[in-house]
Amino acid sequence: AQSVTQLDSHVSVSEGTPVLLRCNYSSSYSPSLFWYVQHPNKGLQLLLKYTSAATLVKGINGFEAEFKKSETSFHLTKPSAHMSDAAEYFCVVTGTGNQFYFGTGTSLTVIP
Amino acid sequence: KAGVTQTPRYLIKTRGQQVTLSCSPISGHRSVSWYQQTPGQGLQFLFEYFSETQRNKGNFPGRFSGRQFSNSRSEMNVSTLELGDSALYLCASSLWTRETQYFGPGTRLLVL
C-alpha cells in the first residue's frame, strides 16, 4: 500500500532563509513522487516530479527535492525563501493505476 | 495549451439536492481524475476515468458518480447532497495513467 507522511503541518521561515519541507513515503514498488503547491483559493500547481531518472530533482521557482530510497524520504528544499512562497505544499506518491496519494499538507509561512 | 477548466467555479445547494460538476482536460489528455478537498480530510481521491471507462474509485458512497465522454471531458454527479459534501472539488488530467496530473482551479460547493 502507498502512503505519504508530511512531518510538519506548519513551517515558518524568514524571507531569505532556507526552506525545508519534509516528506516520508511508503510504497510497495518503485513509485513516482511529486510536490505540488496550492496558493489560497487556487488549484494545485506542480513543483517537481521524481520518476527514478535522477535522485535530485529540480523544480520551478528554485525548489528542489532529493529522493532517498534508504530513508524513504523526498524532502523539498529551497535555498532562499520569498514572500510569494507562502502557500500549502503537498507531497504525493502514486498508487496502482493513476491514483495519487496526498500527504496532509504543510503550510509555509514566510516572515518578512 | 489551455489548462484544465472546471465549471462552475462556485455552487450553493441545499441538502437533498443533486449537483453536476464539469471538467475539461488539457487537449490530448485522456485520463481525468477527481478529488475532494476539505479542511478536515484533506485531499481524497474520488475516481479516475480513462477512455470513457472508470479505472479507479476511491472510498466514497455511491451518491458520488462520474462519467467521461468521447472527447475526454468529464462530469461528476453528487446526489442527495449532505452538509458534509461541502468541499472544493478538483479535477486533474494526464496523458496516460501514472503520468503527471495537471489540476484545474476547482469547484467550490457549499451545501446549506
Confidence of residue A97 (pLDDT cuts 50, 70, 90): low
Residue A18 pLDDT exceeds 70: yes
- Best of B21, B34, B94, B98 to substitute, by most chain A Cβ atoms within 10 angstroms, is B98
The burial class, CB within 10 Å (0-12 / 13-18 / 19+), for A14 is exposed
The answer, for B41 touching chain A at a CB cutoff of 8 Å, is: no
Give 10-residue mean pLDDT values along chain B (112 residues).
92 97 96 93 91 91 96 96 96 86 94 97
> Cα–Cα distance between B2 and B20 in angstroms, integer?
22
C-alpha cell at B10: 462556485
Chain B residues with CB-CB distance to A102 below 8 A: 35, 42-44
| Mean pLDDT, rounded, for A52-81 | 93
Residue B109 phi/psi, 5-degree rounding, is -105, 130
Query: Cβ(A23)–Cβ(A91) under 8 Å?
Result: yes
Residues from chain B contacting residue A57 (CB–CB below 8 Å): none
Q: What integer pLDDT is reported at residue A29 of this predicted model? A: 74
Task: For chain A, list residues whose CB is within 8 angstroms of any CB belonging to chain B.
Answer: 32, 34, 36, 42-46, 49, 90, 94, 96-105
Non-local CB neighbours of A15 within 8 Å, separated by 6+ positions: A81, A82, A83, A110, A111, A112
Task: For residue range B63-85, list pLDDT tens digits in order.
Answer: 999 999 999 999 999 999 999 99
Q: Smallest CA–CA separation between B103 and chain A, in Å?
A: 6
Task: For residues A102 and A93, give the distance between their C-alpha atoms in angstroms, rounded to a whole number.
Answer: 7
